Structures are given as C-alpha cells and as structure tokens.
Amino acid sequence: MKITEIVLVTENWKGTEKNSLMTVEDYFKYLDLDKFDSRKDVAEAMLELGKTLGDEKEWSEHYFVANVTVFARFCTDDGQLARFLGGFYNSTDQQVLFDKSMCSGECLDKLSELGMDTRGRVSIGSLSYTRLDAVFEQGQMLHNLNGSDYRVMEKLSDRNLLLMDIKTGNFVVAQGTNLFARHPRGTEATENNSLMGIEWGHGLYLGSTPSTIDFRHIRQEYGTKRIIEDIYQYREMLQDRFRLYTRLEKDELLSDEAREAIMLANFKEFGTSDLEHFRKGLQEGLYDKGFSEMMEKQKEKLR
C-alpha cells in the first residue's frame, strides 16, 4: 500500500473529533453509500474525495447524520500523515482521539512499515536504510526523509545538487546526495514496504531570493566545470539558464515573492522574459559579451 492511497478521516460528533485511517473502499463503506438519496449524491461524494489528491489544504466534507460531520482526504506524504496523527488538522482544543477500531488493517500495517506510531512519531530503531542507485536530473522532484520536498534546480555534479524547498522557496546546496529506501528492520526493501527519499552529507543553506545568491561561485565551488570552448556552447549554456528562469517563473508551487524575484533576475540578465525576444537577441549576439570576458579570463589563467 502506498501512502497516497491512505484516506485521512476525521469524524466530528458534537465537537468531539476522532481520527482514523482508511482505504478508499472502507471509507465509502463507512459512509454507507447505499443510504444516499441518489446516484448523483454518490458521485459527488467520490468526486469531492478525488479533489483532495495532491493539495494538502483540500478536504472533502460530508454531513453524515445529525450532529456528525466527516472530513476526509487522500494522504499526500509521510509528513502529512505524521501531522494528521499528531492532531495538526484538528479544530478543537480537546485531546485528539485516534480510533483504531475505525481503521483499515492495511493502513495500520503501513504505519508499522514506516516505523510510525498512532501519534505520528517515528521510531528510528525499528527501521533500516538501503542505499539505492540513482541518477538525479534537473527539474526532478525529490522527497527528503525528514519530510520536505525539493525540486532539483541544477545538477552541479553527480551527487551535488542545487535544490529548492517547495514549501519555503529556500535554496540549498546538497552535497553528497544519495537516494535511500527506509523500511522495517529485518526485511528486504520493496516498493510497497519502503519510503523512498534523499539524504545528503552537508548542506549549504541559502535564502529564497535568487538575485542575492552567487550562483557562479556555487557552480565553481561545488559543480563539475562545464566546458565551453566556442560561442555556440556558450549560447547553449545561456539557453539552459533562460529555460530554468522561465520554468521557475511559472511554477505555481512557489510564492508570489519568489516568482517575482526570479522574473527580475531573468530580466536583469537577459532584458526580457519573452522567449522569442530572447532567441532573437541570442542570434544577434546581444549576450555574447560574456563569452569574450570568459575567454579573456581563461587566457589570463594560462599566462
């Protein structure tokens, strides 16, 4: 069972809330669809649950019987699962109740596989880590085993990555990054019993405003040097950079402030965010001055 197949369920009865974990099948059995007034109501209940996929803030809401409201959503990841079990999403000031009797057996088994108790706490001693072969790529989404999600902004080398935290927009140079499968101790790692995620040896933590970060220094310090021997390779490098800026400007997971800063950085370097204008300027040699400066510095080093 995958974490994203777990349905997080909160039952509110006169202000008292009980949390439970269910499969989709058990959730709809719990709602008792046979008692719905029409097929349309059944379809709407299914649609409302489906809308919660991916967006952590979306919850379906169903008035079960008098004085009972049920809130449910598909689980996004292990971080959200831990927050749910810890009562983060509960609206009352009362003690959070977790009702095992309402839970699906498969969901409780998944908790055991994750080494997580019913309060969302992970017992590291019950888990093993298996290192996996991985080739990281620019633009790839990676899950950190501490609970955060990152996008690979630039592959500096095979194991050194420039990452951006999806929620905060903060950049980090992750040095010595590896992919691991976290699974119950004493078992072989499989797709069903493991949580896949990255860990790195050292991290250089940066801000969330690209224009304040010296990316050239970062590439020189932590990256595999890109070989540029002619104007065409230089222009190819500029195209890659422009594409990266453009993707970030359109990334709706970023805050408005981060996207605006990226747009300003793009405009400062290329004078435009429009692809056709950029291509025209590239062909006309508008950005070639940097290549001349680069070649001159290389000559000075050889003297």
**Radius of gyration, CA atoms only, the chain:** 25
Residues 94, 189, single domain; the answer is: no
How sure is the predictor about 302, in pLDDT bands with cuts at 50, 70 and 90? low
Residues 193, 236, single domain; the answer is: no
Residues 87, 134, single domain; the answer is: no
Mean pLDDT over each residue of the chain, to the nearest integer? 86
Residues 118, 28, single domain; the answer is: yes
How sure is the predictor about 226, in pLDDT bands with cuts at 50, 70 and 90? low
- Domain stop point among 122, 145, 172: 122
- Domain stop point among 209, 244, 268: 209
Residues 274-286 as b or e (16 or more Cβ within 10 Å = b): eeeebeebbeeee
Per the structure, the complete domain to which residue 187 belongs is given by: 128-209
Residues 38, 118, single domain; the answer is: yes
In a domain, 214, yes or no: no
Number of domains in the chain: 3
**pLDDT beyond 90 at 148:** no
Percent of the chain whose pLDDT exceeds 90: 31
Residues 11, 104, single domain; the answer is: yes
In a domain, 259, yes or no: yes
Residues 137, 108, single domain; the answer is: no
In a domain, 220, yes or no: no
In a domain, 218, yes or no: no
Residues 94, 135, single domain; the answer is: no
Residues 84, 50, single domain; the answer is: yes
Mean pLDDT, residues 266-281: 89
Enter the pTM of the model. Answer: 0.58
Cα angle for residues 56, 110, 98 (degrees, 5° grid): 70
Measured over the CA atoms of residue 93, residue 99, residue 100 and residue 106, the dihedral's sign is negative
pLDDT at 171: 94
